[in-house]
Copies of this chain bind each other. A is one copy, B any other.
Amino acid sequence: MDKKNIGIGLIGLGVIGGKVAGVLLERGESLSEEVGQPIILRKIKVLEQDLSRPQAQEMEPHLFTTDEDEFFNTPGMDIVIELIGGEEPALTYQKKALLAGKHVITANKEIIAKHGAELAAMAQKQNVSLSYEAAVGGGIPLIMPFKRDLVANEIKGIYAIINGTTNYLLTSMSREDVDFASALKQAQKLGYAEADPKNDIEGIDSKYKLAILASLAFRSRIHPDDIYCEGVSRLSSRDFRYAKEMGYVIKLLALAKQSDGSIEVRVHPVCLPEDDFLAKVDGVYNAILVEGDLIGKVTFLGEGAGPLPTSSAVIADVVQVARDIVLGTVCRPVSRLQLDKKIKKMSEIVTRYFIRMNIADSAGVLAQIAKVLGDNNISIASAIQKEADEETKTAEIVIMTHPSPEKGIIQAVDELNRLDAVKEVNNFIRVEV
């Protein structure tokens, strides 16, 4: 076999890109051995300001270009790794690479979630591959297990804690009994939350990742817009305290379930029983539980982000694609999509609910609340009522319901809020088991 070099082009020299470049340069020899032919980093597309980074200083200057055309015209570049993140210009770069017949590897969850189907079709047409193991769960192997190891299974569900920042925040709130704002401030100080934390705390990051996993698991096309999404910012330390009292832990869960040809996909805070395995996943860790009809429940746990784990996944893709190039077989058959699956409306889901409200401390209030719930076919599983606050003459009550349709809960919460005796329904959190 011809000992042709396999050339890599890298777009982006941020924390992830810098690490990937470092691994490609430092471990070039052992990676080449894994592949059977030399792997060569040929060119890195950078921004002017990247050139002053310490990583850039350590590398040969001829590796860098700030010029898009120069980058794409680099000779002998078989694989393009896009690591700049965000939608543009990353999408344009990926398309340009695919159209030029180059294999694309990316960690860009937003692009794969929104445009994955289009890009995969382009890659297929060009007889090249599109790989994105690093887009979900950092270094935790997830994409390839879905594409290969779980392929005999009908996937019943995915239950995932898939955003390290929010899991860190919720762990702090639970352990230290602090409110959301102070937990966020602390996390930002320690570098676990970004200055603009919107994508993480509003569940958008989780939504992108769930769209990718659910599309693979259900051999379907789940767009981020199909996913109900609710963040963590309205959680208060009181929710955590009451949940704990009832034996529950609050987590931000990305959930996808399939039954009878219809799919549920949603990201929102949930109460999990404290002895549930996912309830024990704390701090910045990610955990992804996959339920299949043959495997039962398999859980993947690890650091879901960070330059080192992410570079591990990117390099795994590089080795895989390079091996396929060596073997002359890059374009694997694509599973036929089942596009007829119905996505359930949020109003159709059925689950248990944790409802916390402030009520007037007077006779007959509980009866009024129970009547509203009963009228909406919601039955109470348990309740906690705390002694009233002398000053404000209000009491707090938390109700855990039996499984009820979301539609009924929304209606009931609305009616409860209109009762004179109910000061406010402070929160309701879905319960998953």
Contacts and interface: CB of A to CB of B under 8 A. Distances in A.
A21 interface: no
Given A139-B295, A302-B297, A149 B153 contact: no
Interface in A145-185: 145, 148-153
A328 B303 CA distance: 37
A302 B309 contact: no
Nearest to A309: B295
A224 to B, nearest CB: 25
Contacts of A35: 333
A303 B295 contact: yes
A46 interface: no
Which interface residue of A35, A306, A308, A326 has the most chain B CB atoms within 10 A?
A308
A141 B145 contact: yes
A308 B296 CA distance: 8
Please tell me how many copies of the chain the complex holds: 2
A340 B319 CA distance: 25
B297 A299 contact: no
B140 A298 contact: yes
A270 B296 CA distance: 28
Contacts of A303: 295-298
A318 to B, nearest CB: 8
A316 B23 contact: no
A296 B328 CA distance: 33
B332 A308 contact: no
Interface string A277-303: 100100000000000111111111111
A194 to B, nearest CB: 21
Nearest to A336: B33
A315 interface: yes
B312 A294 contact: yes
B292 A312 contact: yes
A: interface residue count bin: 35 or more
Contacts of A23: 152, 294
Contact of A294 (B297, B308, B327, B329): B308
A295 B323 contact: no
Contacts of A299: 299-302
A206 interface: no
B319 A148 contact: yes
A218 to B, nearest CB: 13
Contact of A150 (B300, B316, B327): B316
A139 B294 contact: yes
Nearest to A333: B36
Contact of A277 (B151, B301, B320): B301
Given A277-B301, A296-B309, 17 more contacts: A35-B333, A138-B295, A139-B295, A141-B141, A144-B144, A149-B313, A151-B319, A152-B311, A152-B315, A280-B280, A292-B312, A294-B308, A294-B315, A295-B312, A296-B302, A299-B302, A300-B301
19 contacts: A35-B333, A36-B333, A139-B292, A139-B296, A141-B141, A141-B149, A144-B145, A148-B320, A149-B312, A152-B316, A292-B312, A295-B302, A295-B303, A296-B302, A296-B308, A299-B302, A300-B301, A301-B301, A323-B332
